[in-house]
């Protein structure tokens, strides 16, 4: 019986990573058919500040969740204006997993996200405004309370205000008290707003 020649072994992840790791090579691998190659490329592009635009573009069409997650991690590490814009655009995604991952990424970039926060909090889409408040939940930035006060003072959408007042109950100070009372007067027929605002006022009074 003739011996059969064994089939060549499939390339391992190490093989994939031994491909050209310069910027052109990584950008090419980012478009590879193999998601494993794309994932390694997305990870290694963290060492290339000029890669943000390509990563954002890939994120917009990527179908493999594990690759999207690595792209988000790399964009967070790069943290430049293009990266932040890409993360921000994810707030409009219908993919809840991608949207939530982007929110978590943005929370890690307080100084980089701060310049776009006011714009997000005034976005025409109330869902985007709610997601922006979600970003504020863990955004370690000195203007968080200021932004939340402005939301509950000016935003016309009850759900946006409800999300903001919940967070204000955790981070608010005496400076939020007049605006909380005004919020109660503005949404006098909304039981949840009344409850959340009263709870926030109680927490602030207790220090």
pLDDT digits (tens, 9 = 90+) for 133-172: 999 988 889 999 999 999 999 999 999 999 999 999 999 9
Please report where in the chains the tokens 């100084």 appear, as a residue: 111
Q: Is the model's pLDDT at 86 over the cut of 80?
A: yes
CA 181 – CA 198 distance, rounded (Å): 9
- Beta carbons within 10 angstroms of residue 12's beta carbon: 10
What is the model's pLDDT at position 9? 43
| pTM recorded for the entire structure | 0.85
What is the structure's pLDDT at 157? 97
Write out the DSSP string of 14-78. HHHHTS--SHHHHHHHTT-SSHHHHHHHHHHGGG-GGGHHHHHHHHHH---HHHHHHHHHHHHHH
What is the per-residue pLDDT for 145? 96
């Amino acid at each position: 019986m003739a011996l059969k020649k064994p089939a060549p072994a499939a390339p391992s992840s190490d093989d994939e990573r031994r491909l050209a790791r310069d910027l052109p090579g990584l950008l090419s691998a980012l478009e590879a058919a193999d998601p494993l190659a794309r994932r390694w490329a997305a990870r290694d592009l963290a060492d290339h500040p000029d890669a943000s635009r390509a990563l954002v573009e890939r994120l917009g069409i990527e179908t493999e969740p594990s690759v999207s997650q690595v792209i988000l991690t790399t964009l967070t590490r790069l943290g430049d204006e293009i990266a932040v814009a890409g993360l921000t655009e994810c707030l409009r995604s219908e993919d809840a997993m991608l949207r939530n991952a982007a929110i978590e990424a943005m929370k890690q970039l307080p100084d980089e996200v701060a310049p776009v926060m006011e714009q997000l909090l005034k976005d025409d889409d109330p869902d985007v405004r709610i997601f922006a408040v979600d970003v504020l939940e863990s955004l370690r930035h000195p203007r968080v309370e200021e932004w939340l006060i402005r939301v509950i003072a000016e935003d016309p959408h009850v759900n946006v205000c409800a999300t903001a007042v919940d967070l204000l109950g955790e981070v608010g100070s005496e400076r939020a008290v007049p605006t909380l009372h005004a919020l109660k007067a503005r949404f006098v027929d909304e039981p949840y707003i009344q409850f959340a605002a009263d709870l926030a006022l109680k927490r602030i009074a207790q220090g």
